Amino acid sequence: MTGPLERVLRVLLADTAAPHYGYDLMRSARVPSGTLYPMLARLQQQGLVESEWEPRHDDAGGRPPRKYYRLTGEGIRITRLELARARPPVRSARAGRVQPAPGSAR
């Protein structure tokens, strides 16, 4: 599992009932939009994530409805398993990083 995917799944799993909009996912998982949307499309194809359009609110000020993403039941199960296998997140991410740029190490 790659770093961005893991971060996105963690954010989705942190609150499985809440609607996660694309931009919010980008910010909280620190993933650029160029990576996030293909990833979400793939997860949707695999049936792990579902998407829905938000209902139109009167207080939205004429803003068009946004689309949000949620883990499916199957997605929650598989994500828990995968994240448990990938733990501990911080340390493995550090260890997996490539060596520092020349000159930066003392």
Partner 1 sequence: MSGAPLVRQLAEWRIRRACRRLPEDMREECYREWMAEIPAILGDPGGGRGFVRAVRALSYSAGISRATRRLRRVGGGAGGQARPAPAVPWRDGVPAAPPRGPAFRATVGVGIWLALVLVVVAVIRGLQPHSLWQILPGLLAAAGFVAFCLTDLAFAAQVRYLPKWGWALACTLSIPLGGIMYFSVGRCRRARSARPDHLPHRS
Residue type, 101: A
The interface mask with partner 1, positions 12-51, x = CB under 8 A, is: ---------xxx--x-----xxxxxxx--xx--x------
Please, which residues have CB within 8 angstroms of residue 34's CB and are 6 or more apart in sequence?
Answer: none
Which residues inside 69-98 make contact with partner 1, applying CB under 8 A?
A: none
Write the DSSP symbol of residue 21: E
Check residue 47 and report its DSSP letter.
T
Q: Quick one: which segment of 10-18, 59-67, 71-79, 87-95 binds partner 1 (CB under 8 A)?
A: 59-67
Q: How many residues bind partner 1 (CB under 8 A)?
A: 19
**What are 39's two structure tokens?**
């990833």
Cβ proximity to partner 1, 14 vs 23, nearer residue:
23
